[in-house]
Structure 1
Amino acid sequence: MSNTPSSVELLATDLQGPGVIACPNPKMTLWSGHPKVFIDVATTGEGKCPYCGTVYRLKAGEKLHSHH
């Protein structure tokens, strides 16, 4: 198993609620590998899972509608 953290590019529509993403995400093969956490992506445009190190990054040019 690779220890290299993966990076996931997100669209604004992938985010839940106030600009967060759940990890592990359904596309992961080890989706039950750690407790489900919600990672804030809206604040800085990216967030990192404290458990597996996966980086979730908002795709360039994507706009969140919840912030003015």
Structure 2
Amino acid sequence: MSNSSKQQAPATVEVTAAELQGPGVVFCPNPKMALWSNHPRVFIDVAGHGEGKCPYCGTVYKLKAGEKVSHGH
């Protein structure tokens, strides 16, 4: 099996509660991603289940251990 046929595992990005936008979401692509990897911006719910996955690039956004999301603003 050649290296070119292997798929790279999707990246996992840990986020803090302070990094969540609005109702507990993050957006992808995130500002740290290279410009060549851009795709349409999508908002991913992290607060609901503690993690969410981008439907375009497969990046998993996960709430850091011990982080609490406050739903009251």
Is the helix fraction higher in 1 or 2? Answer: 2
Which residue is 1:56 aligned to? 61
CA distance in 2, matches of 1:15, 1:24: 14
Q: Following TM superposition, by how much is the alpha carbon of 1:29 offset from its aligned partner in structure 2, in angstroms?
A: 1.0
CA distance in 2, matches of 1:59, 1:10: 6
Percent of matched pairs sharing the same residue: 68
Aligned partner (choices 17, 21, 24) of residue 22 of structure 2 = 17
Which residue is 2:9 aligned to? 4
Tell whether the 8 Å contact from 1:25 to 1:31 is kept in structure 2 after alignment.
no
CA deviations on 1:30-57 (whole Å, 9 max, x unpaired) are 3662100000001100000000000000
Asked if residue 42 in structure 1 is aligned to residue 47 in structure 2, the reply is: yes
Stretches of structure 1 lacking an aligned partner (at least 5 in a row):
none
RMSD: 1.6
TM-score with structure 1 setting the length: 0.88
Q: Following TM superposition, by how much is the alpha carbon of 1:3 offset from its aligned partner in structure 2, in angstroms?
A: 3.0
TM-score with structure 2 setting the length: 0.83
